[in-house]
Structure 1
């Protein structure tokens, strides 16, 4: 699915349920909640949750949970973008341009992920 098509779908889906009526401050709160759920899903994948009700969950189930939570984050980002009439294409292009400009001189190279 293309970004623009997905952005339109999210707008319509959330409007039909009355979920797009929330203002930006409430929407940011939802985004933070969903971001926390992404963190919880990553923790479950990487080090486990050490909870008796969450033991022995198969890897595909944990991976699916992460995908779904990332989708919730993306949905909330889209809703914020829609509140300000900004397309995902514009966001992606601006982000790419910012990073290309920032790192065009070869400074600030990324630090590789280190295993703990």
Structure 2
């Protein structure tokens, strides 16, 4: 397993990993659907940490395990975002700066 030191390495690793498995060829609508599925899994992971189980057939999870699931789901969302941004040739720098500009203008900071 490679050790990722920064976001650029992660971005390169995701692109290579997804291409090797032919996961990058899905059109943006399908990729967005995958991302929404991951957002649902993220919500479930957050719920497990914040309120625990809410059904009798669910096991109570220790915090470390619940936190690891949260890390994994955030990673899945980040990877899907990177694949989508790559499809439109949008860099992470552009995304970050665009977000800062939007919020700064909106909230006059």
TM-score (norm 2): 0.88
Q: What corresponds to 2:71 in structure 1?
A: 67
Larger radius of gyration: 1
Conserved 8 A contact 1:4-1:89: no
Distance 1:77 1:21 in 2: 14
Residues 49-106 of structure 1, C-alpha deviations (whole Å, 9 max, x = no match): 233453231100000100100100001011100110111111011101111111125x
Distance 1:46 1:82 in 2: 34
4+ residue segments displaced more than 3 Å: 51-54
TM-score (norm 1): 0.83
Distance 2:30 2:46 in 1: 25
Task: Say which SS state the counterpart of residue 20 (structure 1) adopts.
Answer: coil
Higher mean C-alpha deviation, range 67-76 or range 6-15? 6-15
The alpha-carbon deviation at position 8 of structure 1 amounts to 1.6
Q: Count residues with an aligned counterpart.
A: 105
Asked whether 1:101 is paired with 2:101, we answer no
Conserved 8 A contact 1:45-1:63: yes
Task: Say which SS state the counterpart of residue 24 (structure 2) adopts.
Answer: helix
Question: Could you list the runs of 5+ residues in structure 2 that have no partner in the other structure?
Answer: none
Question: Could you list the runs of 5+ residues in structure 1 that have no partner in the other structure?
Answer: 106-116
Higher mean C-alpha deviation, range 73-82 or range 1-10? 1-10
Asked whether 1:8 is paired with 2:9, we answer no
Residues 6-30 of structure 1, C-alpha deviations (whole Å, 9 max, x = no match): 2121111100111101010000000
Let me know the Cα RMSD of the aligned residues: 1.4
**Higher RCO (C-alpha 8 Å, min separation 6):** 1
Conserved 8 A contact 1:31-1:76: yes
